[in-house]
Amino acid sequence: MKKTVLFAIVAILASCSQKQVQDYPIRGVTFSHVHFTDGLLAEKERIVRENTIPFAFRKCEETGRIANFARAAGLDTTKFTGLRYDDSDVFKVMEAASYSLATKYDAALDQYMDSLIALVGAAQEPDGYLYTIRTSGGLDVDPKAGPERWNDIALSHELYNVGHMYEAAVAHYYATGKTAFLDIAKRNADLIYNTFLVPGRKIASGHEEIELALVKLYRATGDRRYLDLSHFLLECRGYCGNDPKPVAQQYEAIGHAVRGVYRFMAIVDNAVLCGDQAYRTAIDSLWNDVTGRKMYLTGGLGSYREKERFGEAYFLPDEETHCETCAGVGSCMWNYRMFCLTGESRYFDIFERTLYNNVLHGISDDGMKFFYANVLQCSPYTFDWEREWARIKPKSRLRRSHRLPWFETSCCPTNLARILLSMPGYVYALGENSLYVNLFTAGHSAFETAAGEPVELRCETAYPYDGDVRLTLEKAPVKATALRIRIPGWAQGHPVPGALYTYLNDTPSLPVVLVNGEAATYATEKGYAVLDRKWKNGDVVDVRFEMPLRFVKADNRVEAVRGRIAVERGPIIFSAILPENGKDIRSCEISPEDHFEEQEAQGFVTLMDTDRQLMFIPYYRHAQEGITQMSVWIRKQ
């Protein structure tokens, strides 16, 4: 039986290898060609560049994460410190630093990166193996690393670590043109290819990551073996490891949320590049399951703190939830791939919701404090629990009411750094004779269309707090081009693509579009306003999205928030706040008939329910100025 399964996997892999490699019909404009100039995302990019990256590198030094590479290289004789997966944090900061170098060159950072890459290379064993805890002899520090190579792949994170290394190496190559880091990644991938794929040895990483990273390595090098290895590793799932079913038969999201979305990304990549229709069917079902039954209003994923996992359908507790920041980051990347496959705006609706709420909630204004979990309610009960937990385990990553500067497992701070510095690469995308505008943020971009024609585009806007967007084609394509401007779901009268959340006041408000000051008619296709014409230099497109307050209710099967409503304005979710020692936030009520006053200060909008004297702030700003009670969902009067 085991031989039959193995032969089936090899046969499927061989079939994939013989197929002509396909690709996404839509591709994003590379992050290095888009430069933010103003607004919320520009500010976050600046903070991550100036504060988060140096802070994260410093913490990696202070905690021994970087020293572990020196220990593995024999340059430091002290004992390994930390956890078996700490290598990945260093790689993620290096990836973020590469994005920073590409968008704003820093000679000192460039030199520091070169020194780190040399250290990583020195830690790599002659055959390409790279896992500092084993090479440095630190197995007694964290026994889950396993006694021998690949011995306990379900727990060791050997493949998870190097997956993040591949992503960092590819980002550095694209940013600098240097190949030293890429060569390290290739040597390691070659080892894994020869160790597992060539002999047909089944393996399934306990924490998915390498599967999607191999696709990036394939794209950077053109070496088809890396794509084949990615497909092979996915095909092994269900036959070994923790997956109960093969990938092509996975239709429901279960288990660890972060590992899930990382796997989903790799499934989409392989569905497209290998032309695997069974994968396509599976990923559509998984997306419908997640967004229709298991996603929080903020875009957060993961209902259980225990094992950080998806819950059952409609089980979405707001106070005892998890919603790990890494799951939000992964969800954005997954939905981006789904858009590139289909050209449908609904995927970017989820991307935007998750970015502005779940992801940004994870990082402080100064970029040096973080949430690991992102709850939707902090009540007096939460604070009592916090104090007791702090007394028992002060360094716990499960602190819920305020951000912490670092965690024993610091995947979230490093993930935030890389997603926010790569954000320029998600704004625009190109299809055949089409230019997609997916995110609205002030900036200047210079790139080439799919046909190779140069384009320069300027965007002026105060989005997400203002709905006016101006696009100026400073250099227009010569050929007629369809400018496709995303009409957010919230502007069309629905917060999410399905019925998990709906508006009480659901009147759609489609945008007004002007071209050179005159009202323009436009077609709507797949959630985009389409202006298909021959453009000329200096053409200006103005788009106006109305941003009324919206009141949201959940499907009645979401028991945790039944009878409660939430407040949105544009893509921003607001949360009610009270002083820590104020009345219980759970006893507050609001009505859609209440009068709300908007106030703008320090670059964001707050709301005051003057009938209840209840303050609402953007959810992502919770606990920026100290500990408060907070709730996204408020009892409806």
Report the distance separating Cα 515 and Cα 519, nearest Å.
Answer: 6
Picking from 284, 291, 323, 318, the residue whose alpha carbon sits closest to that of residue 305 is 323
Query: What is the C-alpha radius of gyration for the chain, rounded to an integer number of angstroms?
Result: 24
pLDDT digits (tens, 9 = 90+) for 505-525: 877 778 999 999 999 999 999
Report the distance separating Cα 509 and Cα 309, nearest Å.
Answer: 37
- pLDDT(221) > 70: yes
pLDDT digits (tens, 9 = 90+) for 141-152: 999 999 999 999
**What are the φ/ψ torsions at residue 143 (nearest 5 degrees)?**
-60, -15
pLDDT digits (tens, 9 = 90+) for 162-200: 999 999 999 999 999 999 999 999 999 999 999 999 999
- pLDDT(557) > 80: yes
- Using 50, 70 and 90 to split pLDDT, how confident is the model at 292? very high
pLDDT digits (tens, 9 = 90+) for 310-349: 999 999 999 989 999 999 999 999 999 999 999 999 999 9
Q: What is the pLDDT of residue 612?
A: 96
Strand, coil or helix: 381: helix
Q: Where are the alpha helices (DSSP H) in 370-488?
A: 380-392, 411-421
What percentage of the chain's residues is helix, strand, coil (to nearest 5)?
A: 45, 20, 40
- Using 50, 70 and 90 to split pLDDT, how confident is the model at 16? low
Q: What is the pLDDT of residue 19?
A: 60
Q: What is the pLDDT of residue 18?
A: 53
8 A C-beta contact, residue 147 and residue 157: no
Q: What is the pLDDT of residue 400?
A: 67
Between the alpha carbon of residue 119 and those of residues 54, 64, 165, 264, 431, the distances in Å are 18, 14, 13, 32, 41
- Using 50, 70 and 90 to split pLDDT, how confident is the model at 201? very high
- Using 50, 70 and 90 to split pLDDT, how confident is the model at 133? very high
Report the distance separating Cα 456 and Cα 474, nearest Å.
Answer: 5
Diameter of the chain measured on Cα atoms = 72
Report the distance separating Cα 153 and Cα 210, nearest Å.
Answer: 12
Picking from 334, 263, 267, the residue whose alpha carbon sits closest to that of residue 295 is 334
8 A C-beta contact, residue 123 and residue 69: yes
- pLDDT(362) > 50: yes
8 A C-beta contact, residue 157 and residue 88: yes
8 A C-beta contact, residue 228 and residue 16: yes
Report the distance separating Cα 44 and Cα 50, nearest Å.
Answer: 10
- pLDDT(208) > 60: yes
Picking from 373, 369, 375, 376, the residue whose alpha carbon sits closest to that of residue 413 is 369
What torsion do the CA atoms of 90, 92, 96, 99 make, to the nearest 10 degrees?
110
- Higher pLDDT: 582 or 586? It is 586
Q: What is the pLDDT of residue 384?
A: 58
pLDDT digits (tens, 9 = 90+) for 441-481: 999 999 999 999 999 999 999 999 999 999 999 999 999 99
Q: What is the pLDDT of residue 11?
A: 42
8 A C-beta contact, residue 253 and residue 289: yes
Q: What is the pLDDT of residue 394?
A: 43
Report the distance separating Cα 447 and Cα 33, nearest Å.
Answer: 6
Q: What is the pLDDT of residue 380?
A: 78
State mean pLDDT over 601-607.
90
Report the distance separating Cα 576 and Cα 394, nearest Å.
Answer: 28
- pLDDT(396) > 80: no
Cis amide bond preceding 464, omega within 30: yes
The identity of residue 125, as a single letter, is: E
Average model confidence (pLDDT) across the chain: 93
Strand, coil or helix: 523: strand
Report the distance separating Cα 65 and Cα 63, nearest Å.
Answer: 6
- Higher pLDDT: 506 or 89? It is 89
8 A C-beta contact, residue 29 and residue 428: yes
Percent of the chain with pLDDT over 70: 94
8 A C-beta contact, residue 318 and residue 586: no
Report the distance separating Cα 152 and Cα 147, nearest Å.
Answer: 8
Q: What is the pLDDT of residue 392?
A: 42
Angle at 162 between CA 156 and CA 168, to 5 degrees: 145
Q: What is the pLDDT of residue 510?
A: 86
Cross-strand bridge partners of residue 469 = 461, 543
Q: What is the pLDDT of residue 505?
A: 86
- pLDDT(393) > 90: no
Between the alpha carbon of residue 548 and those of residues 181, 186, 404, 545, 598, the distances in Å are 49, 52, 34, 10, 11
- Using 50, 70 and 90 to split pLDDT, how confident is the model at 496? very high
Q: What number of other Cβ atoms are within 10 A of residue 170's Cβ?
A: 23
Domain segments of the chain as ranges: 427-486+510-544, 549-636
pLDDT digits (tens, 9 = 90+) for 253-288: 999 999 999 999 999 999 999 999 999 999 999 999
> What kind of architecture, by CATH, is found in domain 427-486+510-544?
Sandwich (2.60)
Angle at 173 between CA 168 and CA 177, to 5 degrees: 160
